[in-house]
């Protein structure tokens, strides 16, 4: 079993809408799957992810977040969809 260093995880936690959250792309990276595949699985099992487990960012939230992490996430490419973020409960679910 490969353990992920705590610092790696802590660097992927953001504070949005008063909650600690992780981006879908960061969770996909931790699980070593494509973000697209993670989103497909969530959509197939949407009943398991109530609003307090995950939500989609607004365009403004996405722009603010991108400006905060631009230097640390260069080269990741763009996305055509707004990212989903998962709360602590959603990540553990």
Residue 87 lies in a domain: yes
Asked whether residue 46 is assigned to any structural domain, the reply reads yes
Q: How many domains does the chain have?
A: 1
Residues 70-89 have a mean pLDDT of 68
The strand order across the sheet containing 19-23 reads 13-16, 19-23, 84-87, 54-56
Which tokens in the block code for residue 85? 């973020």
Choose the most confident range, by mean pLDDT, from 34-43, 69-78, 82-91.
Answer: 34-43
Residue 13 counted as domain residue: yes
Give the structural domain span for 86: 6-92
What kind and span of H or E run contains 44? Answer: helix 35-44
- In-domain check, residue 52: yes
Domain-embedded: residue 1: no
- pTM check: above 0.85: no
* Residue 82 within any structural domain of the chain: yes
């Amino acid at each position: 079993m490969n353990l992920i260093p705590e610092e790696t995880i802590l660097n992927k936690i953001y504070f949005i809408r008063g909650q600690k959250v992780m981006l879908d792309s960061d969770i996909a990276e931790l699980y070593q799957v494509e973000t697209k595949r993670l989103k497909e699985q969530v959509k197939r099992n949407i009943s398991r992810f109530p609003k307090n487990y995950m939500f989609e960012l607004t365009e403004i939230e996405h722009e603010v977040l991108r400006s905060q992490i631009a230097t640390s996430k260069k080269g990741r490419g763009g996305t055509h969809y707004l990212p989903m973020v998962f709360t602590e409960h959603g990540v553990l679910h």
